[in-house]
Each structure stands twice: as C-alpha cells, then as structure tokens.
C-alpha cells in the first residue's frame, strides 16, 4: 500500500489520479465532515461545502507541497469554504447560522439533528462567539486538534490561539449560565 505522501506525489505527477484521490477522500472524509458540520450545523449545507472542499482540493493539489500535513491543508480549505458559505447564506437572507437565533431555526428544520435542549443551548453559545474564537473552540474542543495543527490551519500563533480558547470557554460558560438561570 502506498503511503499518503506517495499517493499525493503520484496524483501531482498524473499517475493513478482518480484512484489516489479517492483514497485521500476516504481517508479524511469523516474528519472533514464533522469539522464542516460544526460550522454549518445542518447536514444539507455540510454536504454542499464538503463537496466543494474536495473539488477545490483536487483542483489545487499541485499547489500542495509534501513538507506540510495534507490534512491541515484540507482543513484550511474546508474552513474557508464553510465561512464563505455562511457569508453567502447571510447575504441571500437566510438567518445567520453564526447567530444564536439562526441556530434554533436551523436545527429544528434539520432531519439529521435530534439533540436535546442543552445541546441546542451549547450550539447557540458557540454561535454567539466571534468567528475566530468559534473556530478555535470547535477545533480544540470537539475536533480534539493540537494547537500546533490549529495554528497551521488558521495561520495564527499558538499563544494567540490559547488566549482565544480561554476567552471562548469563559463566554460559553457565561452564556449557558445566563440561559439556564433566566
């Protein structure tokens, strides 16, 4: 079995392109899916962004150099595609999924979400965060990524990420407490 590095080099050289790219998709599809879902919330939107992410990764794979991790490169594309999709949704009048009130509407219309009240409050709390803090919190807490990898994806220093995560955690705690004691 070829290693991931060999597969990527082969694709870049035009060898076994389809087979190789399918291997990469299957290797990372679940991780990328859940990362995108944590931003987009609904399955339908996640599926659209996921397809765009892999298509863009394929079209730009010659820009990838093997001295970096492929999955952090993919995460960066997925993150950018998700944020762009959110902005486009906001532009065409869909209630923002990056706003607490948009979350309620979105999760209730998503047949692939059956979370309880506490989970919805937590989603709203995360949605109330500024964009960068929201991304850092999701990647650290729910994707269980290292600060080093998040740093590569968001192009931010580890120190700044730790500060963002700390602020995000405090804001979420305050939001959840305010909701539960209303």
Partner 1 sequence: MNKEGKYNFDSDFDQWLQKNNPKKGMSVPEGYFENFSDDLMSKIEFNKIDAPVSRHLLSIKSKYYISAIAASIILLVASIIFFPQEKDNIVLTDLAADQTWGYVINNASELSMEEISEFSEIDEAITDLEKELYGNNISEHFIDDQDIDLIEEIYQ
Question: Which residues of this chain interact with partner 1, rule CB under 8 A?
Answer: 11, 17-18, 21-22, 25-26, 29-30, 33-34, 37-38, 43, 47, 50-51, 54-65, 67-68, 73, 76-77, 80, 84, 87, 91, 112-120, 122-123, 126, 141-142, 155, 169, 172-173, 176-177, 180-181
Contacts by 1-4, CB closer than 8 A, 24 or more apart = 4/70
The least CB distance from residue 42 to partner 1, in Å, is 9
Label residue 112 exposed, middle or buried (CB < 10 Å: 0-12, 13-18, 19+): exposed
* Contact (Cβ atoms closer than 8 angstroms) between residue 46 and residue 28: no
The least CB distance from residue 71 to partner 1, in Å, is 11
Nearer to partner 1, 43 or 162 (CB): 43
Q: Give Cβ neighbours of residue 84 (< 8 Å, ≥ 6 apart).
A: none
The least CB distance from residue 155 to partner 1, in Å, is 6
Nearer to partner 1, 17 or 94 (CB): 17
* Contact (Cβ atoms closer than 8 angstroms) between residue 97 and residue 40: yes
């Amino acid at each position: 079995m070829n290693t991931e590095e060999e597969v990527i080099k082969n694709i870049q050289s035009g060898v076994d392109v389809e087979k190789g790219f399918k291997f990469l998709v299957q290797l990372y599809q679940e991780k990328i899916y859940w990362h995108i879902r944590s931003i987009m919330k609904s399955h339908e939107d996640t599926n659209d962004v996921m397809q765009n992410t892999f298509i863009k990764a394929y079209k730009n794979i010659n820009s990838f150099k093997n001295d970096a991790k492929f999955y952090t490169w993919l995460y960066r594309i997925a993150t950018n595609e998700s944020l762009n999709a959110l902005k486009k949704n906001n532009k065409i009048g869909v209630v923002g999924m990056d706003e607490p009130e948009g979350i309620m509407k979105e999760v209730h219309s998503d047949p692939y979400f059956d979370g309880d009240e506490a989970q919805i409050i937590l989603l709203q709390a995360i949605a109330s965060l500024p964009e960068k803090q929201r991304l850092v919190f999701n990647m650290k807490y729910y994707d269980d990524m290292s600060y080093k990898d998040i740093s590569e994806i968001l192009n931010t220093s580890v120190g700044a990420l730790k500060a963002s995560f700390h602020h995000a955690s405090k804001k979420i705690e305050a939001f959840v407490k305010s909701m539960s004691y209303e």
